[in-house]
Every structure is written in C-alpha cells, then in structure tokens.
Amino acid sequence: MDSKMKKIISTSTFLVQPGEFWYVKVSKFPDSKKHFMISQDSDEITVLTKKENVQELEIIKKNPQDWKLIALNLSAPFTAGFLAIVTSAIAKEKTNSLIVSTYSKDYVIARKEHLNKVVKALKKLGLKEAK
C-alpha cells in the first residue's frame, strides 16, 4: 500500500449501523423511504432493508442470513483501489462481504455472525471506528 493510501485510510472511519438487515427479492418496487437499498435490473428487484421493515414487502425469496451494515467514511471519496484493499483485508480474515457504494459513502455488508472478523480486518487495515 502506498503512502497516499495509508494516509487516506488513517484519516477515514467506519461505523457499524444499528439493526439487522435482510436481503430479499421482491415482486414489486417498494416505497423507497423505509429501505436502505433497492436495486432493479431486467431480471429482479432486490431490497436490503432492516429486519423490522420486511413485513410490508412482497417477498419472493429471502437470503437465509441476517446482515450487518458498516458505513465507510472515506476522507477522500472516489479513491482508486480503496475498495480492493478493504475487500482483500476482509478476505484475509477468512470471511466475505458485499460492497455497496452511494455517491459519498461505501458500505460493507457482512453476515451477522462474521461482523467481529470484518471489524477486526478494518481496524487492522488502519480504519478507526467512529463513535
């Protein structure tokens, strides 16, 4: 990792979001205000939402795991290679994760039972946990 990336990582933080999340495939596009992410392509509509919001969805299929959401607050957004470094660090902990990016933040989505390993990987990398 070069010195520029080390500086960016050392001045960036992460925050585990409250609640547990579900990944579900739904039959129709839901009201977007209550859900973290809605993704639609030509084959399906996928929703990532807090567990307590699923009752209003028309679920076709649910991923069997519960998920935790970790916000990455990068000090220099759109930095090439940052997500590759993060996912590599998580993989070294023998776990996997999903990544979602918005305009100004990246999010790591980890299985609930792997949360401690993912947090360990982020700290080992040099990210600081926001309080």
Q: Buried (b) or exposed (e) across 1-15, using 16+ Cβ within 10 A?
A: eeeebeebbeebebe
Q: Where do we find the tokens 């994760």?
A: 97
Give one DSSP letter per residue of 109-120, joined into a string.
EEEGGGHHHHHH
Q: pTM score > 0.85 for this model?
A: yes
pLDDT of residue 37: 92
Q: Where do we find the tokens 């547990």?
A: 20
Strands (E), the chain: 13-16, 21-26, 37-40, 45-50, 59-62, 67-73, 98-101, 106-111, 128-129
What is the percent of the chain with per-residue pLDDT over 90, rounded to a whole number? 65
User: SS3 of 30, please?
Assistant: coil
- Please provide the average confidence, as pLDDT, over all residues in the chain: 91
Q: Per DSSP, what are the bridge partners of residue 46?
A: 25, 39
Q: Buried (b) or exposed (e) across 36-59, using 16+ Cβ within 10 A?
A: bbeeeeeeebbbbbbeebbeebee
CA distance 95 to 111: 9
Domains and CATH numbers, the chain: 1-20+67-131 (3.30.2130.10), 21-65 (no CATH)
**In tens digits, what is the pLDDT along the chain, a chain of 131 residues?**
788 888 888 889 999 999 999 999 999 998 878 899 999 999 999 999 999 999 889 999 999 899 999 999 887 777 888 899 999 999 999 998 999 988 888 999 999 999 999 999 999 999 999 98
